[in-house]
Structure formats: structure tokens, C-alpha cells
């Protein structure tokens, strides 16, 4: 049986959904900071609990997790490791698969291009903390798993990897979002729009809201879910505009209610690995207005409404044009809902199993 270390600082929603399935098919040693109650029940070979430091992402904690991986490999207890860049860059002995959810390098370039000058100096910390580990991990990895084909192409070209080194495995989606689908909201006399995600420069929401406030004639309620470094500035800009409601984080019931009331999902993100919030909006019955970039084309296909990349004024032009066309919006939401059904955690787990089996064959043949 294939033996691997599955290393993750905290158990993500993805890990929670695919680990039980993978543990039935592989001999998995789980290495994590997570408490026992935060770990899904599964047939692990072993669970190695690493005591978290005050700041979990410090190099010292990455070094500690890497040390466990190299020890297991040296003792002949694992064949390779499934690991993220934040840990992988310290691995010295064990062949590893670097799992990439998005490119910090791409984020950094966006930040340096669009951030105000006074905030650029702060980017140096992010470069050291995130970008350098990504560069090292992606260059040294035996193989790379990405959450989309588009991200795989970006990583492959940036780090000079062969196409055979990169395996796209798309994320999944909880079926509870599919259950929120309801076309009746398109008959409402008023329209509400939604953004959910980080309030961060890379997400493009601040520039979109600035442009929105210049168009008081757009008669919609603009609901913004999430938190992040741009929240204070967003609140300052939105305060005089009663159409904009910044809601922060909501409990599950309140979020479900809001999702069922909103019709259009706006997604002005400038870089995504997969776009989980976009897929959630697709599943729950929104017409999705996004920037035209490869990952959005891959995820949405013909079900999307596309605006030129990083052009908030053009995105709002398209929004204005779409508002009277209720049947067109209803059709786009229906198509997006059907497209979202492809992104199940069951499919993700099966695709991950296939990728890890193929990777194991290549790694054992080459080491």
C-alpha cells in the first residue's frame, strides 16, 4: 500500500472532506497542529500532533513539521509527503508533493502594482514569509498538485516545471449550497447583489465599491460579506451610501438567508486558484459577474457574465445593462447552478486518489 505523510497546519474543510476517503486507500500518517476533536475520524496509520507556537506560520513551526516528515522517511515509514509550501520549503530528505491553492507570488505582484506607495513597504514581510517559501517549495517538489488547470499552467510556467510534474485536482463543494437554489427571487421587484470573500486588495472589492459610489442611480442593495485589511476603508467609503451594507462575518443561518435573497454575485478578484466563494455563489443560484481571466472561464464556462480584467467601471457598466434583463439573469443563474454540481468533494477525493497513485509510481521510479 502507498504510504504517505499528510501534513497540514490546520485541518481545512477540504482535508475534512477527503481525508476519510483517502485513509481507506492509502496508509496515511497525519501531521497537524489541530486538536483531536478538529480531526475527522479515519483509519490513519498514525497521527502526529505538533504543538503550535504562538504564531503558527513562523519558520520554527515549519521546521518542526518538516523534521517529522524527514524522520518518517528516513525510518522507511513513508514513501512521500503531501504538504503545502509553508512547510515544504524546509524538507530536505523526503520527496514531496507541493499542494498549491493559489500563488503568493502572483498576489505579491498584484500588491506591488496596485497598492498605495505607503503600503508597499509592508509587502516585504509578505515576500519573505510567503513568496520565498513558495518559490523554494515549487522548485524542489517532486510533483505539484494545484486546485485548477489555470493555476497549474501559471505555476508550471513561473517555476519552469514540466507539464507532467503538475496535477490539477479541482476542489469540491458542500451540497448545502445547492439546496439554497431558488429561482423565485428573480421575480422580486428589487434586486440585491452580493460579494463574499476577503476584503483585500487582491480581491478588487475596494476599487469596485469606489466606482459604485460614483453611480448613485444604480438602484440595488450591495451586500458585502467578509473581513480583511480593507474593511475600515470600505466602511469609510460606504458610510454615506445607504445602498452598501458591509456585514462582516455572519452565522450560517443568516448567511443562508442573505444568499437566498441576493440575485447577482459580483466577483472582482484579480487572482484566484479556484474561487470557492464563486462556486458557492454558482451553486446557490446567482448570476455571476466576474473578471475575464482563465480560472473564471475554467470554473464558470459559458454560465458566467464577464467583464474586462481589472476594469471596475466596465464591470458596473455590464451590471447596469443586466439589471433589467431578469430572464437573462435567471438563465445564467440556472446554468451556473448546474455547472456547480460538478464540484463535489466525492469527485475531488476520487481525483486526488488517482493523482496520488500516479505520483507515487513516478516518485518511486525516480528515487
Domains of the chain in start order, with CATH, are 3-172+345-366 (3.40.50.2000), 175-340 (3.40.50.2000)
pLDDT at residue 56 is higher than 60: no
Instruction: Specify the higher pLDDT residue, 331 or 59.
Output: 331
CA distances from 194 to 189, 226, 266, 297, 331 (A): 17, 11, 6, 20, 18
Among 123-132, 174-183, 225-234, 322-331, the range scoring the smallest mean pLDDT is 123-132
Which pLDDT score, from 0 to 100, does residue 97 have? 97
206-236 tens-digit pLDDT: 999 999 999 999 999 999 999 999 999 999 9
Which pLDDT score, from 0 to 100, does residue 57 have? 56
100-152 tens-digit pLDDT: 999 988 988 887 777 666 666 666 777 878 899 999 999 999 999 999 999 99
Distance, CA of 200 to CA of 198 (rounded, Å): 5
User: What percent of the chain lies above the pLDDT cut of 70?
Assistant: 95
pTM of this structure: 0.93
- List Cβ neighbours of 153 (8 Å cut-off, separation of 6 or more): 294
CA distances from 9 to 37, 81, 182, 197 (A): 15, 14, 37, 22
What mean pLDDT is predicted for residues 77-81? 97
pLDDT at residue 267 is higher than 90: yes
Distance, CA of 155 to CA of 163 (rounded, Å): 10
Which pLDDT score, from 0 to 100, does residue 252 have? 87
129: left (phi > 0), else alpha (psi -120 to 50), else beta? alpha
Amino acid at each position: 500500500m502507498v504510504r504517505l505523510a499528510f501534513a497540514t497546519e490546520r485541518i481545512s474543510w477540504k482535508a475534512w472532506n477527503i481525508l476519510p476517503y483517502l485513509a481507506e486507500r492509502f496508509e496515511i500518517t497525519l501531521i497537524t497542529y489541530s486538536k483531536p476533536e478538529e480531526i475527522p475520524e479515519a483509519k490513519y496509520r498514525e497521527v502526529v500532533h505538533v504543538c503550535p507556537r504562538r504564531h503558527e506560520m513562523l519558520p520554527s513551526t515549519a521546521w518542526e513539521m518538516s523534521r517529522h516528515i524527514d524522520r518518517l522517511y528516513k525510518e522507511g515509514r513513508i514513501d512521500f509527503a503531501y504538504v503545502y509550501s509553508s512547510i515544504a520549503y524546509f524538507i530536505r530528505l523526503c520527496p514531496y508533493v507541493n499542494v498549491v491553492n493559489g500563488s503568493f507570488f502572483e498576489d505579491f505582484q498584484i500588491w506591488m502594482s496596485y497598492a498605495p506607495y505607503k503600503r508597499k513597504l509592508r509587502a516585504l514581510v509578505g515576500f519573505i514569509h510567503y513568496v520565498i517559501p513558495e518559490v523554494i517549495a515549487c522548485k524542489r517538489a517532486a510533483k505539484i498538485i494545484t486546485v485548477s488547470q489555470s493555476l497549474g499552467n501559471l505555476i508550471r510556467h513561473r517555476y519552469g516545471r514540466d507539464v507532467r510534474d503538475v496535477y490539477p485536482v479541482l476542489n469540491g463543494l458542500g451540497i448545502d449550497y445547492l439546496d439554497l437554489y431558488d429561482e423565485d427571487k428573480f421575480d422580486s421587484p428589487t434586486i440585491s447583489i452580493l460579494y463574499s470573500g476577503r476584503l483585500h486588495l487582491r480581491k478588487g472589492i475596494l476599487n469596485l465599491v469606489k466606482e459604485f459610489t460614483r453611480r448613485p442611480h444604480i438602484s440595488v442593495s450591495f451586500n458585502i460579506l467578509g473581513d480583511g485589511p480593507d474593511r475600515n476603508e470600505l466602511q469609510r467609503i460606504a458610510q454615506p451610501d445607504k445602498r452598501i451594507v458591509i456585514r462582516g462575518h455572519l452565522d450560517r443561518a443568516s448567511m443562508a438567508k442573505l444568499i437566498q435573497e441576493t440575485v447577482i454575485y459580483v466577483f472582482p478578484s484579480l487572482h484566484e486558484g479556484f474561487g470557492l466563494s464563486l462556486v458557492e455563489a454558482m451553486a446557490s443560484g446567482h448570476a455571476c459577474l466576474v473578471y475575464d481571466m482563465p480560472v473564471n472561464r475554467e470554473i464558470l464556462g459559458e454560465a458566467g457574465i464577464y467583464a474586462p480584467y481589472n476594469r471596475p467601471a466596465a464591470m458596473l457598466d455590464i451590471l447596469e445593462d443586466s439589471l433589467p434583463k431578469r430572464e437573462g439573469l435567471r438563465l445564467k443563474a440556472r446554468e451556473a447552478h448546474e455547472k456547480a454540481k460538478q464540484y463535489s468533494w466525492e469527485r475531488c477525493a476520487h481525483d486526488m486518489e488517482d493523482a496520488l497513485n500516479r505520483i507515487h509510481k513516478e516518485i518511486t521510479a525516480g528515487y
